[in-house]
Amino acid sequence: MAHQHRTTLTDFVFICVLLVIKLETVQAAPHSGNMDKCQKALDKIVELFNLLDHEAGILLTTYIKTNGFPTDQQAPVVDGVPPTTITGSTHKVKLQNIHNRAMLFYWHIDTVIKYMTDLLEPSDNETQILLRLLRDSMNRLQNLFGRVEKLLQILDSNTTTVSTKVAQDVSRDEYEKKIYGWAVLDRHKDFLAMVLEVAGFKANTVCEG
């Protein structure tokens, strides 16, 4: 009788252990799925960043050439142009910062397009190439901050992002408008390179928390 009792108790303990393992497996499944979802979203963002980084160099060179600036000089510093630094002690905060910076550059490049449309001859082939590159950059930035926003939601569904827009009422003469565009595109290029270095994208650690 005692032997039967011990056997029943052993079976009960074994069943409890199986239930615990099963419960842990079920609880872990969503996390694993979320990690996969995060990694796929991250891969697309990194791919887009690499493309933007490559195209930003072409855009900047084209802008300098089209506006007749010397190629051996550094871009001027202009007030109001977003900085290239990425702030934040966690991946989530850095991603929020990247999202906001990308949106700011989107609106700054929109202003550059308006300036170039007014200042350059629209029928000129070089002007058309420059405007196309600027619009392509805007479209990719819009895609970028949209993807970053989705990644933030995967990491934390309670994450909120802030929409930002650049004031359009700054008074600039023709030369200042051209200088402004140069500064924006130079910072834009540096920003993209900085993101790939500091945001954890290269180390592939964003989805680890």
Q: Is residue 15 part of a domain?
A: no
CB-CB neighbours of 5 under 10 Å: 9
DSSP state, residue 120: S
Q: Is residue 33 part of a domain?
A: no
* Structure confidence by residue, pLDDT tens digits, 154-165: 888 877 766 666
Q: Is residue 16 part of a domain?
A: no
pTM to 2 decimals?
0.79
Nearest C-alpha neighbor of 162 from the set 203, 103, 94, 122: 103
Q: Is residue 21 part of a domain?
A: no
Domain of 151 in residue numbering reads as 42-208
Domains in the chain, number: 1
Q: Is residue 6 part of a domain?
A: no
Q: How confident is the model at residue 23 (pLDDT cuts 50, 70, 90)?
A: very low
Q: Is residue 29 part of a domain?
A: no
Between these two residues, 110 and 26, which has the higher pLDDT value?
110
How is residue 92 written in tokens? Answer: 């989530």
CATH number at residue 187: 1.20.1250.10
CA atoms of 26 and 4, how far apart (whole Å): 33
Q: Is residue 4 part of a domain?
A: no
How is residue 30 written in tokens? Answer: 């969503």
Q: Is residue 118 part of a domain?
A: yes
- Helix 2-66 crosses helix 125-155 at what angle (to 10 degrees)? 160
The sign of the torsion formed by the CA atoms of 50, 55, 61, 64 equals negative
Between these two residues, 14 and 86, which has the higher pLDDT value?
86
CA atoms of 75 and 117, how far apart (whole Å): 21
Provide the mean pLDDT of the chain: 81
